[in-house]
Amino acid sequence: MLRLRILALDQLGGILAEKGLRINEHIRVREVRLIRDSGEQEVMQTFDALAIAREQGLDLVEVAPQAQPPVVKIMNYGKFKFENEKKNREAKKKQKLLKLKEIRMQPKIDDHDLDFKSKHIKEFLGEGNKVKVTIRFRGRELAHTELGKVVLDDVLERLDGEFVLDKAPLMEGKFMSMILSPKLKK
């Protein structure tokens, strides 16, 4: 029952879950600080501020509920909400998601296979992704982890400095791994 009531308030333009903004009759304090379009501020009764907003055909929106008294503005709430959503969409378009790609090898890898995997690492770095290069040790290979370090150093030589070493080669259980990221382009 309570959940349905809150949902109905949200649909009517009441309390916004994502922002915590209250509008119009849902502002339940006695006094508010009204900021006018000209920038001047005045403390008044909530009822009076709501009457001013109604005269102008706009909404009374609580912009700083934590202030004493809460700060409100008179604005077109639908337009305000639309512009905020538009800004958020633009910000999402501009952000770049980094993916972490993983290349697995063994310490007994042949030169051709090493060339092939190094070529893939270059492609991943060229696309702007981070790459985790992992060497898996099995059985008796664990006694010779220095061979894995040699393989990782060989991979670094084949990449010709087209990377930034985020995490140096390190043993983690039966795996030795390092993380590379692409060089920043200016």
Listed in order, strand segments (DSSP E) in the chain are 31-35, 41-45, 59-64, 71-75, 100-105, 130-136, 163-172, 175-182
Q: CATH 3.10.20.80 residue ranges in the chain?
A: 2-93
Prior bond to 65 cis, omega within 30? no
Residue 119, token pair as written in the block = 């070529």
Give the 3-state secondary structure of residue 31.
strand
Each of the 186 residues of the chain gets a pLDDT tens digit; together they read: 444 344 444 444 443 434 567 888 888 888 999 888 788 888 988 888 888 888 988 888 888 888 888 898 888 888 888 988 999 998 888 877 778 999 999 999 999 999 999 999 999 988 888 999 999 999 998 898 899 999 999 999 998 877 889 999 999 999 999 999 988 765
Which residues, at least 6 apart from 113, have a Cβ–Cβ distance to it below 8 Å?
105
With CA atoms as reference, report the closest residue to 77 among 25, 7, 5, 3: 25
- Classify domain 100-182 at the CATH topology level: Translation Initiation Factor IF3 (3.30.110)
pTM: 0.52
The rounded radius of gyration (Å) of the Cα atoms in the chain is: 30
Residues 2-93, CATH architecture? Roll (3.10)
With CA atoms as reference, report the closest residue to 69 among 51, 47, 49, 43: 43
Q: CATH 3.30.110.10 residue ranges in the chain?
A: 100-182
pLDDT given for residue 81 in this prediction: 87
Q: Tokens 């664990």, residue? A: 142
Packing angle, helices 145-158 and 111-126, rounded to 10: 60
Residue 104, token pair as written in the block = 């697995």
With CA atoms as reference, report the closest residue to 107 among 133, 76, 131, 132: 133
pLDDT given for residue 21 in this prediction: 78
